[in-house]
Amino acid sequence: MAKIKLDSGRNHQISFMYHVIFWIIYFLSNALRWGSYFNDYAYSLKTNLIGFPIHMVLCYFVIYVLIPRLLFKKWYLTFIISLLSSIFLMVVIKFNLTYFLVSTNVWPEGPSVTNNFTFNYAIDMMIGELYVITFVTAIKITFDFLREHKHVADLEKANLETELLFLKTQISPHFFFNTLNNIHALALEKSDKTSKIILKLSELMRYLLYETRKKRQTLENEILCIQNYLDLEKIRHDDSLEVKMAISGEIKDKKIAPILLLSFIENAFKHGVNKNIGLIKITITLDILENFLYFTVTNPLPSKVTQSSSISDSGGIGLKNVRKRLALGYNENDYQLTLKENKNTNTFFVKLKIKVS
């Protein structure tokens, strides 16, 4: 709470400074303009010293009282009456202050010497005050619009970041669930592989829990995460699994959205390995060309895939999440995703071209 109050106070101070600067500039320009017009800068300075407090009171009264309390509530007639009454009252005050403190000729720019409160004087002064109010109100509305636009943009950014974080939390438990099932099965068999798979899982958990909070992760760490995942699957499937992973190009200092590539590989095992019997082959390639990564995964189709169903449609959390994460985390020109099934070769093919920086 203290931090919020401190920030609010700082914003208020900056806003007040802008007000002071605006009125100083406006006062000086007006005093110089009328001083040049009258060829009497002392008279212009005196009249502006009287007029500007009136301008300021009127402007702030209209902006912070009449507009929010009457105009925004659609009390239009009451607003107009209140506005004109306020302006008229200030013109009366201005007339008397000018008459008694500066000069009995209160309207030297008028058609003749004016030392009485006339109708023409009142109308001219009211129009002048209305001009000042309109000018200042236009500035206020512009700043409010820009501030609101920034606020909306910040909210949209926060919503996107929240949604991305939510998608990441969906991926990690999904992966843990599958791996824990593997450990459970090995434990029931009292397999010697149990300790190895637990060690690999702990390394993955450490990475997924602490290293995926960043918007971008190094490609080196992502490849290491993938390798740990593949080692887990190799321990589980033993000789029935053949995985080929080829990496080419310079991966150093390249970054990518965390656990994005792992989602495709996990999907390959979920649908291409776990739902087939016999020797299963999976091919993974990562090619770096300039600032783009060309990533491919090829795995066999599930043995029960028919003409009316596909991995693309039934991929569950994995493929749906990765599509959403790509849309939220990258511009359209920064990635290209292709998912294909080839019933003739009985393979499912993922091809991702994505910008790495």
Per domain, the residue ranges of the chain are 2-153, 192-355
Q: For the chain, where are the alpha helices, taking DSSP H only? A: 2-38, 41-61, 76-101, 119-188, 193-210, 219-237, 260-268, 311-314, 316-329
Residue 248: CA atoms inside 13 Å, Cβ hemisphere, count?
8
> 219, 237 in Cβ contact below 8 A?
no
Q: Give the pLDDT confidence score for residue 214 in this predicted structure.
A: 79
Give the tokens for residue 5.
Answer: 């109050």
The CA distance from 270 to 44, in Å, is 84
Report residue 351: phi and psi, to 5°.
-130, 120
State the residue for tokens 């294909």: 340
Q: Which of 206, 200, 346, 232 is nearest to 281 (CA)?
A: 346
330: closest CA among 281, 278, 293? Answer: 293
Res 344: pLDDT: 80
Predicted pLDDT of residue 308:
43
Mean pLDDT for each 10-residue chunk of the chain (357 residues)?
Answer: 37 67 88 84 87 90 92 92 93 91 85 87 90 89 85 71 60 65 80 82 80 84 89 76 90 88 83 63 91 92 56 56 82 91 84 92
For domain 192-355, give the CATH superfamily: Histidine kinase-like ATPase, C-terminal domain (3.30.565.10)
Distances (CA, A) of 344 to 296, 297, 307: 19, 17, 12
